[in-house]
Every structure is written in structure tokens, then in C-alpha cells.
Structure 1
Amino acid sequence: MQDKKETPEQKRERLSHKELKSNPTGNMNDAFNRANSGNLADLVGSLGWKGTGILILVIIIAFIIVSLFK
């Protein structure tokens, strides 16, 4: 039988998902604040697929609006 030890990265990921399920709005606020000091992967990873989709839509709409007024 293989020894299934959890790596630190897996533990962080598991705890992050647990926190997201218990406090989704606070975690979204953390994600936006983390963007100031973190990277895009941290932002997208903490937003989830719905938040990431909304973020992409906002960027596309902003690009279209800027293109129309040039």
C-alpha cells in the first residue's frame, strides 16, 4: 500500500477550498486585495470559475467600450 502523505501545497489548496466554501464573499474580497500584491494566478485561483468568468467579461466589455471611443 502506498503512503499517501499530503504535500504542503496540497494542504494549502485543501484549506483554501474549505475556507472558500465557508466564507465565499470574504474570500472574494481577499482575492481582489491580493491582486495588489500577488499575481494573476492567485487572483484567478481564489475567485473560482464564476468569478473568473465575470472578470474576463468585464475586461472584454471595457476593451470594446475603449475601442468605440477611440
Structure 2
Amino acid sequence: MNHQHETPEEKRERLRQEELKMNPTGAVNDGLNRSTTGNLADVVGGLGLKGTGIVIVVLIIGYVLYKVFT
């Protein structure tokens, strides 16, 4: 694999994957930290099209309910 022509996103993902391979227990800690700070790219990337659509619909419904009852 040629690392010279990587985009910054590809490099970041490659380094993250290498870190996960070298330090499996760090993946648990990383997952816990991401759940508290939130990383939308990982959430959406793991859900797929249907899951992303469901999340968007739930957010819209939640916002409408919030506006109706406040």
C-alpha cells in the first residue's frame, strides 16, 4: 500500500486501525471515551443507510415534541 498519496482521513483511519491491532484493550477504552464525547462519523458509518435514516427521524420527532411541550 502506498502511503505517500493518502488523504488525511485515510491516514487517520489507517493509524487508528493499526492502533486497534496493537492494543486491543485500548479499543474498549476508546469506545467508552467516544460514547461520552460522541463521534458522529463513527456512529453514522456503522449504522448504514437505514440506521442513519432512523436516527434522523427520531431526532426530528424528538425536536418537534420538545417544541410542542415547551
User: What TM-score do you get using the length of structure 1 for normalisation?
Assistant: 0.50
TM-score of the pair, normalised by structure 2: 0.50
Select the structure with the greater relative contact order (CA < 8 A; seq sep ≥ 6): 1
